[in-house]
Structure 1
Amino acid sequence: MLIGNLYFISAIAVIGGGLFGFDVSSMSAIIDTDAYLCYFNPGPHTYNSDGSVVCKGPNANVQGGITASMSGGSWLGSLISGYLSDRFGRKTSIQIGSLIWCIGSIIVCASQNIPMLIVGRIINGLSVGICSAQVPVYISEIAPPTKRGRVVGLQQWAVTWGILIMFYVSYGCSFIKGTAAFRVPWGLQMIPAILLFLGLLMLPESPRWLARNDRWEECHAVLTLVHGKGDPSSPFVQREYEEIKSMCEFERNNADVSFLELFKPNMINRTQVGLFTQIWSQLTGMNVMMYYITYIFAMAGLKGNNNLVSSSIQYVINVIMTVPALVWGDRWGRRPTFMLGSLFMMIFLYANAGLMATYGHKAPAGGLNNIAAESWVIEGPASKAVIACTYLFVASYAISFGPASWVYPPELFPLRLRGKAGALCTSGNWAFNFALSYFVPPAFVNIQWKVYVVFGVFCTAMLIHIFFMFPETTGKTLEEVEAIFTDPSGIPYIGTPAWKTKNEYSRAELIEEVGYDEDKRGAAGEVVHQETMATGEKLV
């Protein structure tokens, strides 16, 4: 018996996002503990005057490599997810990812040295790459237009919950003596993956994937289950079914489903928009805050448990501030969400840079938090301002790029390419996640406070790029988004200028209520409107 409640489907599927969250905080909460530093200490031991061991742990470059190894695996996993998704289905590909996560977690939990830890994290990354690429595709292909942003955005909310839960689990385990301090939380990571695999058994497959594979009866049954409340003749079900059927017929006559099509003239515009959505999400610097927040707050003068507890507050903020984006994000629209988020993140990054440059100074000899021979530190009231700006930065990301960056890319592409496009766009996320994870510890050593300037410049660039290139997709069906990228004047491949596209949430809300668009006059399932596309005619 399959379950058709949209929110239940989304709640189960986005556990895949929670896997990424678990990994982020299981590392950020552990890398500063004595158990971790002593066990993964590649250098010779040194001793205090009382004979106790001084454990410096991995140096900045090694720690960057350990942290980045998961992102490297995720990049590869996101690329292969397109093939898995198109071949076996959206749901099955996510289940494969959950099994891979269990394997990786076993290796990480049993790690005897740094190479074994890195291998386990790479395998975990394969899982995260698959799930993070295909969960948004799966949910977006099931959700109606007015709820698509909300339910796909739950992916990010699951990430924030995963970060928060695992941080406190890891923090609690840090009081355990010996290697159990990090083995226990790394082993517990398997629980959500097991729940994800079992929960997916109760969920339907994507109706659009079923249609793409000529399983029309199953497609109609899923639409009836999820949108028709059991009524196969529901006007909205009939409208969705006809749109999917029309699009599949069009695509069958224009079938080219290789990755190369994403770079052809008629696709390159939306490819760069989707890819940069994920790249900009990383270049905001948010995951730097997630991975290395204990380092950042150490610069602001926090130590020991005060550092860990203060760091955890940002995870709470991340969870809470994601909620408004889920509730009202579809009403706000994608463009305003992205642009305002970029603006406020830019402001708080520049503010931190200014505070660090004006009131900070080099750390004392011997380094800071064992990450380097020298770094930067700020003290007094200015340090509290740095912490406040960091919290406000996290809030700005959580309400904007956090959920919207997962919602937006799957909306841009036609059905035949959506699985591969989702894989390519998400691979951009993980490629830059890898680079930044490796870059940041040495950056704190070499350019200190200027790290904030670097990310502030990125936020400035993304604000400009979004204004000129990111179209509004809110309120449109996945099939209607196609029309955005074709020029009404007949000039091929240019499309509607991004700043002229509009939020159509109100129209979509009306269609879901009455089953047809009053502006286009006609009942669902009939030929109600013809939109001329650069490559042919499409029924909407």
Structure 2
Amino acid sequence: MGYNAKIASNPYVVGSFACIGGGLFGLDISSMSGVLNNEAYLKQFHFPGPSAQGAIVAAMPAGSFLGALAVTQLADRIGRKKTIILAGIVWVMGSILQCASVNRGMLVVGRIISGISVGLASAVVPIYQSEITAPAIRGRMVSLQQWSITWGILIQYFVQFGCSYIDGVASFRIPWGLQMIPAIILSLGMLFFPESPRFLLDTGRDEKALQVLADLHGGGDKTNELVVLEYEEIKQQVLYERTQGAKSYLDLLKPGNPRRVMLGMSIQMWSQLSGMNVMMYYIVYVFQGAGLTGRRSNLIADSVQYILNVALTVPAIIYIDKWGRRPMLLTGTLLMGFWLFLVGGLQARFGHWGELNGNRVWAITDNSAATRAVIVCSYLFVCSFAITMGPVSWTYPAELYSLKVRGKAVSLATASNWAFNTALAFVVPPGLNTIAWKTYFIFGTFNFAAFIHILFMYPETVGRSLEEVEEIFKQGHTFAAWKIGKDVGKKTLEDVLPKTKQSPGGEDSIDKKSESA
């Protein structure tokens, strides 16, 4: 089925619809966090302890790691669009298994399969969005990936909240079954949207690529200046990369690429080591440690955190292309480190070892002021992430690479996200159960380390086309990231069109061969 040109004429519609793929990750986060103190869930799966629960949660990011690596082949072989459709199909399969699971093994297998879907979507959706949007709005569009994750968390959590009033296993099976609906919508809806113009050019479908660019950025006009600029720029890049030989993983090791690969992988690593997913997956444990033990009150407090996560992502989406990537990352890492140290300090000062539901826990008791302070600091931490690191961690890797290595490099960056996500899902429950408040100091320190790394190594990429970003990394001073000026890599229409001839009247004119191109 071909795409609908009327729908494709709006890049916001095209880019935002693909974000449903990011929402699948959000659905999974709260599908787990919402059942950690669900009596029916605990009974069905034989009251999993910290290590067992960590393994169940980690199954999804482990599958996502495999899915993200698969994008290194799928994105370049079958295309960005078909990979997104495949992700939706795989999610439905995983959700069916989870919904029907009767033991831990079946649940883990279902979560691994769902994880593969999330890995596919989280790697390919930012690539797709970055390749269909103009530079002026690219950051805004790719950051919608993070917003869709927050919406997935929020929606699924309220579904869990409502179903918590149902007795028996239906209280968690119904939410796990309902999460199939967005994936079905994603796979069917993507049939009506265009393939990435860069992928089309790379596979020899030049005329179709020009039409897609015209529909997206020129109201269907193939002679629009922006459309011509993008088309020629992408085409020249594709032709250049073809002269360098077939695509392979060895391309990632060619001069100029290793540093960019590490930057993309590192920013995704830091987004996990910031501690945000700890606050999402294990928010029940965090608030229990703060002294909030009532199940209903815990659910309400959790939902406030998820609402703030959604709301505070909005300013980032609106202003990401004005504020720039570096200021957002630097500000966010400092703030997140500060709030986590406060949480750890409050826990250390006012908490003590006790027992809750038969488990040994470090918790604050009989100190409502300290309890409220920990909850507020947790909220402020989430707000700091939502308005800074959250959206930029998806936007930045999608902007770094040339077309030849983009699919493989972005998938590796996303795979690093899932590798650290998997590790943290395993270690956080036992960590909270053994070193307690020191866990927050560890993640706070990671944030300050990220600040130093970003300050010295991450150049600004805001407002540049993907081909202009390529020029940044050809500069001899790229390791002095703070010296990259806004004019580095900037190109005009004359820069990318074929060489012009000087007319007798002194005016530049494009030769006939160029015009036919």
TM-score with structure 1 setting the length: 0.89
What residue is the counterpart of 1:15 in the other structure?
20
Aligned AA for 2:407?
Answer: G
Instruction: Map 1:117-196 to 2 at 5 A.
Output: 117-196=107-186
What residue is the counterpart of 1:48 in the other structure?
none
Matched, 1:106 2:96: yes
**Distance in 2 (alpha carbons) for counterparts of 1:408 and 1:369:** 43
What residue is the counterpart of 1:329 in the other structure?
320
State the Cα deviation string for residues 8-55 of structure 1 (Å, max 9, x = none).
1122100000000001001101121111111111xxxxxxxxxxxxxx
Q: CA deviation at 1:375?
A: 3.0
Aligned AA for 2:40?
Answer: A
What residue is the counterpart of 2:512 in the other structure?
none
Matched, 1:502 2:485: yes
Instruction: Map 1:257-336 to 2 at 5 A.
Output: 257-302=247-292, 303-336=294-327
Q: CA deviation at 1:300?
A: 1.3
Aligned AA for 1:207?
Answer: P
Once the two structures are overlaid, the 10-residue window that deviates more, 9-18 or 250-259, is: 250-259
From the superposition, tell whether residues 323 and 527 of structure 1 become closer, same or farther in structure 2 (CA, over 3 Å).
farther
**Distance in 1 (alpha carbons) for counterparts of 2:92 and 2:493:** 52
C-alpha contact (below 8 Å) 1:235/1:523 kept by paired residues? no
Paired residue secondary structure (2:452): helix
Q: CA deviation at 1:501?
A: 1.6
Paired residue secondary structure (2:352): strand
Q: CA deviation at 1:360?
A: 1.4
Q: CA deviation at 1:263?
A: 3.2
C-alpha contact (below 8 Å) 2:15/2:132 kept by paired residues? no
What residue is the counterpart of 1:376 in the other structure?
363
**Distance in 1 (alpha carbons) for counterparts of 2:431 and 2:202:** 47
State the Cα deviation string for residues 168-222 of structure 1 (Å, max 9, x = none).
0011111111111111000001000000011101100000001111110111010
C-alpha contact (below 8 Å) 2:233/2:496 kept by paired residues? no
From the superposition, tell whether residues 196 and 390 of structure 1 become closer, same or farther in structure 2 (CA, over 3 Å).
same
Matched, 1:34 2:39: yes
C-alpha contact (below 8 Å) 2:144/2:391 kept by paired residues? yes
**Distance in 2 (alpha carbons) for counterparts of 1:329 and 1:418:** 22
How big is the alpha-carbon RMSD for the aligned residues of Structure 1 and Structure 2? 1.7
What residue is the counterpart of 1:243 in the other structure?
233
Paired residue secondary structure (1:58): coil
**Distance in 1 (alpha carbons) for counterparts of 2:462 and 2:499:** 23
What residue is the counterpart of 2:76 in the other structure?
86
Q: CA deviation at 1:77?
A: 0.5
Aligned AA for 1:500?
Answer: K
Q: CA deviation at 1:377?
A: 3.1
**Distance in 2 (alpha carbons) for counterparts of 1:141 and 1:226:** 11
Q: CA deviation at 1:376?
A: 3.4
Aligned AA for 1:415?
Answer: L
C-alpha contact (below 8 Å) 1:470/1:498 kept by paired residues? yes
Q: CA deviation at 1:504?
A: 6.2
Q: Give unmatched runs, 5+ long, in structure 1.
A: 42-56, 489-493, 509-516, 529-540
**Distance in 2 (alpha carbons) for counterparts of 1:411 and 1:309:** 38
Matched, 1:341 2:300: no
Q: Which residue of 400, 403, 406 corresponds with 1:418?
A: 406
Aligned AA for 2:438?
Answer: K
Q: CA deviation at 1:299?
A: 1.1
From the superposition, tell whether residues 173 and 521 of structure 1 become closer, same or farther in structure 2 (CA, over 3 Å).
closer
Structure number with higher helix proportion? 2
**Distance in 2 (alpha carbons) for counterparts of 1:26 and 1:132:** 18
State the Cα deviation string for residues 449-502 of structure 1 (Å, max 9, x = none).
0000000110010000000111100011100111111234xxxxx636211123
C-alpha contact (below 8 Å) 1:298/1:369 kept by paired residues? no
C-alpha contact (below 8 Å) 2:353/2:360 kept by paired residues? no
C-alpha contact (below 8 Å) 1:236/1:524 kept by paired residues? no
**Distance in 2 (alpha carbons) for counterparts of 1:369 and 1:252:** 62
Paired residue secondary structure (1:375): strand
Aligned AA for 1:169?
Answer: V
Identity of matched residues, % = 49
Aligned AA for 1:14?
Answer: C
Q: CA deviation at 1:383?
A: 1.3
**Distance in 2 (alpha carbons) for counterparts of 1:495 and 1:283:** 26
**Distance in 1 (alpha carbons) for counterparts of 2:341 and 2:499:** 54
From the superposition, tell whether residues 348 and 248 of structure 1 become closer, same or farther in structure 2 (CA, over 3 Å).
same
Q: CA deviation at 1:257?
A: 2.1
Q: Give unmatched runs, 5+ long, in structure 2.
A: 501-517
Q: CA deviation at 1:265?
A: 4.0
TM-score with structure 2 setting the length: 0.93
C-alpha contact (below 8 Å) 1:337/1:404 kept by paired residues? yes
Q: CA deviation at 1:522?
A: 4.2
C-alpha contact (below 8 Å) 1:295/1:369 kept by paired residues? no
Number of residues of Structure 1 aligned to a counterpart in Structure 2: 493
